[in-house]
Amino acid sequence: MDDPNLPEQQGAEETVVGNERDVWIREVDDTLKEWCQGDCVLGEHWFVQRFNPQRPLTSDSANVAQEEIDLAESEVEGFVVVTQTCDIVRSCANRPFIEVVPLVKVNEQLLYEIQKSRRPQFVYIPGVAQLNLVADLDRVMTVEKAVVAKWERKLGCRNDEEIRALGQALARKRVRFAFPDDFVRFAKKLQKRMRDKHDKGSVEGEALRALREIRVRAAPSWNAPEIQLMFWFIRNEEQVQFQELGWDQFLQQWLQLLPESGRFQSVEGLVVSLEDMTAKDYVESDPLDLDDLSS
């Protein structure tokens, strides 16, 4: 009878185990070569979060807090992979983890705002947009690549433009500028106007929906005792038909909501296309969104 403690037999068993591991590592790596950032899985899936049993902050946490555990699961519509593609395709032997965020269902209006990058909590995923599903970036979960390898892949982005837009949206969530408190108060009337008029069937509502984004630049800096503000109302190129609607008139109405006060002693604005802006203008300005301004 073979002695299991013999070095020769132990070495043989370790070799078999090692060979098996090599096989399924290659299988996982081969499967993940097809996956890209933004790809999805649909169906019944569960998001896991850790919480404080003494102070549960969500209904999912409160439902299990009585069981004296600190992990809660919530059912979601599916997941989106947010790990960069270059890291997804690296071997799971060295890079075993992938980050995913849950898919949530939204209404048509919110879907439109997310597509226009006006709700940085969420990201528009073209491949599942017809289902009114978007990625919720406030919730991130780490899974091993072998889990993803068992999922049925749903293509998230279909071309370079969509891939680029996704990357920009993911980056914006992490690098969003925190505006000073006095500017938050200063811009509230303009922000409220944008919210109130955006969905209306009026000419102004059409003009607002034709805007790609709104950016603001502070000169010489946000920390200066006196600041000159420049607002860029950037229209979509495909929305040229709105030019006859009176951009100058709307611009004046919007700027009237930003009267000079406090440190903001000069306020100007322009309605432009991206082609009208210099790269310097763009990178030195910060985007406004429909979420509450950061304080």
Q: How does pLDDT run across 87-133, given as a tens digit for each residue?
A: 999 999 999 999 999 999 999 988 988 887 778 889 999 999 999 99
The highest-confidence range among 78-87, 165-174, 211-220, by mean pLDDT, is 78-87
Q: Do residue 123 and residue 196 come from a single domain?
A: no
Residues 20 and 151 in one domain: yes
| 255 and 111 belong to one structural domain | no
Is 284 within the bounds of a domain? yes
Contact 232, 288 (CB under 8 A): no
The answer to whether residue 141 is domain-embedded is: yes
Asked, for residue 2, whether it belongs to a domain, the answer is: no
Which token pair is 14? 């370790």
| pLDDT at 120 (0 to 100) | 82
Instruction: Decide if 1 is inside a domain.
Output: no
Is residue 242 domain-shared with residue 193, that is, in the same domain? yes
DSSP 8-state secondary structure symbol assigned to residue 293: P
What is the tens place of the pLDDT at every residue in 41-75?
999 999 999 888 888 888 888 887 666 788 889 99
Q: Is the pLDDT of residue 254 over 50?
A: yes
Q: What is the pLDDT of residue 88?
A: 95
Nearest by Cα to 139 from 209, 65, 75: 75
Q: What is the pLDDT of residues 130-149, one digit of tens each?
A: 999 999 999 999 999 999 99
CA 213, CA 7: separation in Å to the nearest integer? 68
Considering the domain boundaries, does residue 280 fall inside one? yes
The confidence score (pLDDT) of residue 248 equals 86
Same domain for 159 and 13, yes or no, is: yes
Most confident region among 121-125, 170-174, 203-207 by mean pLDDT:
121-125
Beta strands 264-272; 227-235: pairing state: parallel
Q: Is residue 18 helix, strand or coil?
A: helix
Nearest to 79 by CA among 42, 105, 106: 42
* Distance between CA atoms of residues 32 and 72, nearest Å: 28
Q: 124 and 227: one domain? A: no
295 — pLDDT class (breaks 50, 70, 90)? very low
Last-in-domain residue among 121, 152, 175 = 175
Does residue 293 fall inside a structural domain? no
145 & 188 share domain: no
The reply to whether 154 falls in a domain is yes
Alpha-carbon span 181 to 294, nearest angstrom: 8
- Looking at the fold, whether 120 and 187 belong to one and the same domain comes out as no
pLDDT at 246: 78
Say yes or no: 206 and 88 in one domain: no
Say yes or no: 99 and 168 in one domain. Answer: yes
Q: Taking 70 as the threshold, does the pLDDT of residue 7 lie above it? A: no
Indicate if 231 and 269 belong to the same structural domain: yes
Which residue, 135, 155, 175, sits at the end of a domain? 175
Instruction: Look up residue 202 and give its two tokens.
Output: 């009026």
Q: Among 93-102, 192-201, 237-246, which range has the highest average pLDDT?
A: 93-102
pTM of the model: 0.67
- Local structure of residue 1 (DSSP, 8 states): -
Same-domain pairing of 99 and 117: yes
The answer to whether residue 16 scores a pLDDT higher than 50 is no
Average pLDDT of 239-261?
78
Cis peptide preceding 220, ω within 30 of 0: yes
Q: Is residue 193 assigned to a domain?
A: yes
For the chain, how many structural domains are there in total?
A: 2
Helix count and strand count (H, E) for the chain: 11, 10
CATH code where residue 255 lies? 3.30.460
Backbone angles phi, psi at 31, to 5 degrees: -65, -45
Mark which of 132, 156, 175 sits at the end of a domain. Answer: 175
Range of the domain at 240: 181-288
